[in-house]
Amino acid sequence: MSLKEKLVSSFLAFELDTDTNSKVHEIRSKSIKDFEKIGFPHSKDEYWKYTPIRKVLNEELTIFKKKRHLLEFDKVKDFFLGGIESYKIVFIDGMYDPLWSSTTHEGADICILSSVLENKKYGNVISKYYNKLINEKESFSLLNSSFTKEGAFIHVPKNVELEKPVEIVHINSGGESSLMLQPRSLVILEKNSKAQIIESHYSLNVNEKIHSDKHSTYVDPLTNTVTEIHVNENAKLDYYKIQNDLETTSIIDSTYIDQKSNSEASCHTFSFGGNLVRNNLNFFQNGKNINSILKGITIIGSDQHIDHHTLVHHANPNCESHQDYKGIYNDKSTGVFNGRVLVEKVAQKINAFQQNNNLIIGDNATVNSKPQLEIFADDVKCSHGCTIGQIDENALFYLKTRGINDNDAKGILTYAFANNVLENVGMQVLKTKIKKIIARKIGINIGLEL
């Protein structure tokens, strides 16, 4: 039985734990039927041709977790920002962990999705916002809509600015293989509201003996996550994604952001870990005077594979979008960037910028980059660009003449290449954390000011 057939047949068993009378169940039922028709993407699909998704779709994968794993604080504390107070929603192997979480319903709803999906109190909110942005031709989003039970729910009422940032922390304990997790988040910022959200993915060491044993039945876990974000009039959202898993996990991340007039939304994606990572980031500008900011840093090695697919849909005039993605690739790693900017005919006076710069360190690393502009309006300012290269030998020579050895000189230039993407990060404690991760990834230990 193929994985597709297994998942479709598993839906019947999944239904036993859900309310079949709810509107959410109608969404689940329709989604699994649509998924059955579409199936998983393959190499002939234009938007998947550079990402071998089939290598992580093992027929042993299952959505049914066998047991709950509890973690001590020492194992999770380093995954938090630290240094500041924050709301926290922690998931271990896809299951909510109330012990290390800090949620609230005072002034705003910051809690778990399962507590609101079947709650009549939130019926109007769910009917208005849940599953409204999903691409019904994207099989992984359909699969998530079919099986999702848990995730984060953040609802900020109008005229409210969250006094603390929100941390959504996903931890793979490494205690159980073959899991295909389906976390789902719904974020709603009402009119004139503000929020800062940090979503992070980490994993603990698996049993290396089991993982390296050729006769083992261990299957690397796969996380298929979907996030729907609604940013209403005059609202402002800063969203940060940290993907720093071990190379024994893979992530399919689909994020959909809907913006209304005079809103601003930024999404920074920091991709450092994982075996295969696919980020689908979609911005829909449904109003005037909207600003959308997309930035990313990727630093990988070994045979890791990270794929960024972005879409900014300009459907109204007088809006802006700014994309800036940097990638550093070592060893046999592979990077993919496919950035699409779509400007409708009525969307005049648009200012759209898109840039993808890549630094290849390893002789066997590969980068596939495809910036796209589809413009149907005639009064716009749009630009895109892409560079793929190696460390500047002249700059390297200059640093070495100043007494810096070869390895440290390469580290400084590599660090500088990635660092400018961090300029728009509004949280100093997060900026420091990311800089330290970058320094570790590229091997800098020469006293740089972080």
**Residue 396 pLDDT level (bands cut at 50, 70, 90):** confident
Cα(34)–Cα(22) distance, integer angstroms: 19
**pTM (predicted TM-score):** 0.94
Question: What digits encode the pLDDT tens for the residues 294-306?
Answer: 999 999 999 999 9
Cα(313)–Cα(297) distance, integer angstroms: 22
| Number of neighbouring beta carbons within 10 Å of residue 187 | 25
Ranking 111-120, 190-199, 317-326, 328-337 by mean pLDDT, the lowest is: 111-120
Tokens of 78: 């380093």
pLDDT for residue 216? 53
Residues 294, 264 contacting (CB under 8 angstroms): no
**Residue 399 pLDDT more than 60?**
yes
Burial string for 288-306 (b: 16+ CB within 10 Å, else e) reads: ebbbbbbbbbbbbbeebbb
Q: Across residues 370-390, what is the average pLDDT?
A: 93
Question: Considering the chain, what is the average pLDDT of its residues?
Answer: 90
**Residue 208 pLDDT level (bands cut at 50, 70, 90):** very low
pLDDT for residue 362? 83
| Number of neighbouring beta carbons within 10 Å of residue 42 | 11
User: Which residue type, as a one-letter code, is found at position 176?
Assistant: E
Q: Where are the alpha helices (DSSP H) in 111-201?
A: 114-117, 123-129, 139-147
Cα(295)–Cα(267) distance, integer angstroms: 6
pLDDT for residue 176? 67
Q: Across residues 9-22, what is the average pLDDT?
A: 78
Using DSSP, how many helices (H) and how many strands (E) does the chain show? 10, 20
pLDDT for residue 24? 86
pLDDT for residue 111? 96
Higher pLDDT, 71 or 450: 71
**Residue 372 pLDDT more than 50?**
yes
Ranking 179-183, 204-208, 354-358 by mean pLDDT, the lowest is: 204-208
- The DSSP 8-state label assigned to residue 126 in this structure reads H
Q: Dihedral sign, CA of 93, 305, 333, 443?
A: negative
Question: What digits encode the pLDDT tens for the residues 303-333?
Answer: 999 999 999 999 999 999 999 999 999 999 9
Percent above pLDDT 70 for the chain: 93
First to last CA, the chain: 52
**Residue 288 pLDDT level (bands cut at 50, 70, 90):** very high
pLDDT for residue 21? 66
Angle made by CA atoms 154, 160, 162, in degrees to the nearest 5 = 60
pLDDT for residue 319? 97
Q: Across residues 85-100, what is the average pLDDT?
A: 92
pLDDT for residue 210? 45
Residues 296, 328 contacting (CB under 8 angstroms): no
Cα(69)–Cα(263) distance, integer angstroms: 40
Tokens of 365: 């690393």
Angle made by CA atoms 165, 166, 169, in degrees to the nearest 5 = 135
Tokens of 320: 């802006």
Q: Where are the beta strands (DSSP E) in 59-190?
A: 87-92, 95-96, 109-112, 152-156, 166-172, 180-181, 184-189
Give the phi and the psi of residue 447 in degrees, each rounded to 5. 80, 30
Cα(166)–Cα(189) distance, integer angstroms: 13
Cα(199)–Cα(78) distance, integer angstroms: 14
- How does strand 109-112 pair with strand 152-156? antiparallel
Q: Where are the beta strands (DSSP E) in 330-395?
A: 334-343, 350-360, 366-375, 380-389
Cα(321)–Cα(15) distance, integer angstroms: 41
Q: Dihedral sign, CA of 31, 37, 40, 41?
A: negative
Cα(432)–Cα(326) distance, integer angstroms: 18
Q: Across residues 181-210, what is the average pLDDT?
A: 87
Nearest to 96 by CA among 119, 141, 65: 65
Question: What digits encode the pLDDT tens for the residues 123-152?
Answer: 889 999 999 999 989 999 999 999 988 999
Residues 50, 368 contacting (CB under 8 angstroms): yes
Q: Across residues 5-32, what is the average pLDDT?
A: 84
Q: Where are the beta strands (DSSP E) in 213-289?
A: 222-231, 236-243, 250-259, 264-271, 276-285
pLDDT for residue 20? 66
Cα(143)–Cα(182) distance, integer angstroms: 8
**Residue 340 pLDDT more than 60?**
yes
Q: Look up tokens 């028709």; give the residue.
A: 37
**Residue 217 pLDDT level (bands cut at 50, 70, 90):** low
Tokens of 179: 């899991």
Q: Is 138 exposed, middle or buried (0-12, 13-18, 19+ CB in 10 A)?
A: buried
Residues 294, 267 contacting (CB under 8 angstroms): yes
pLDDT for residue 42? 86
Higher pLDDT, 252 or 412: 252
